[in-house]
């Protein structure tokens, strides 16, 4: 298993944009929190965190090839295992043809777009995540002009894939992100 420090170093090597790095860290926090909540082994927790951290590794430098550049060229060469690679591949099924099937794949998919959307909501609030309510997020989800590039259908589908009501999924992530 590749150490967290090496994954962090790889992230910095491929992503210069601080906002994108922040998004990757948020998704890593979310997937790790779910892995812990699901009582995964320490090895699995590390895999979930790593997949979350590196899921957009090639987005900045190779946007047209995302995530195929990472899963086919970068990550195998760096020694990442197939569980992580397949999870990253499945987070963008419209680009890879691989639908999220395993638990790690489904949770990564479920945490990706929602984390980005919730970050956008937090930036509009004086206290960010600290006193955020589920209602604040669901209200913004209904506003098609707010963070319009975030696909609402992927957010809904993600909650369905992990079989958690969207409100509960949002509540869980608010708790995860409350201190950032």
Q: What are the 10-residue block averages of pLDDT along the chain, 180 residues in total?
A: 93 98 98 98 98 98 97 97 98 96 98 98 96 97 95 97 98 96
| Nearest in space to 177 (alpha carbons), one of 104, 120, 115, 84 | 115
Measure the CA–CA gap between 13 and 35, rounded to whole angstroms: 27
Measure the CA–CA gap between 95 and 74, rounded to whole angstroms: 17
Q: Check if the beta carbon of residue 177 is closer than 8 Å to that of residue 26.
A: yes
pLDDT at 2: 83
Cβ neighbours, 10 Å, residue 161: 19
| Nearest in space to 9 (alpha carbons), one of 73, 74, 88 | 74
Measure the CA–CA gap between 51 and 27, rounded to whole angstroms: 9
CB contact set of 167 (below 8 Å; sequence gap of 6+): 134, 138
pLDDT at 1: 76
Rounded to two decimals, the pTM is: 0.97
Structure tokens at 92: 């963008």
């Amino acid at each position: 298993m590749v150490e967290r420090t090496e994954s962090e170093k790889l992230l910095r090597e491929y992503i210069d944009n601080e906002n994108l790095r922040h998004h990757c860290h948020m998704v890593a926090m979310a997937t790790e929190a779910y892995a812990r909540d699901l009582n995964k082994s320490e090895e699995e927790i590390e895999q979930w965190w790593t997949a979350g951290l590196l899921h957009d590794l090639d987005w900045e430098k190779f946007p047209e090839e995302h995530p195929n550049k990472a899963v086919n060229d970068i990550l195998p060469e760096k020694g990442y295992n197939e569980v992580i690679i397949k999870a990253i591949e499945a987070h963008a099924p419209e680009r890879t043809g691989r639908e999220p099937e395993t638990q790690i794949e489904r949770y990564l998919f479920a945490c990706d777009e929602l984390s980005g959307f919730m970050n956008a909501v937090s930036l509009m609030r004086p206290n960010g995540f600290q006193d955020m309510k589920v209602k604040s997020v669901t209200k913004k989800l209904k506003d098609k002009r707010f963070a319009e590039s975030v696909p609402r259908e992927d957010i809904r589908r993600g909650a369905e894939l992990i079989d958690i009501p969207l409100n509960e999924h949002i509540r869980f992530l608010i708790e995860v992100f409350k201190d950032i």
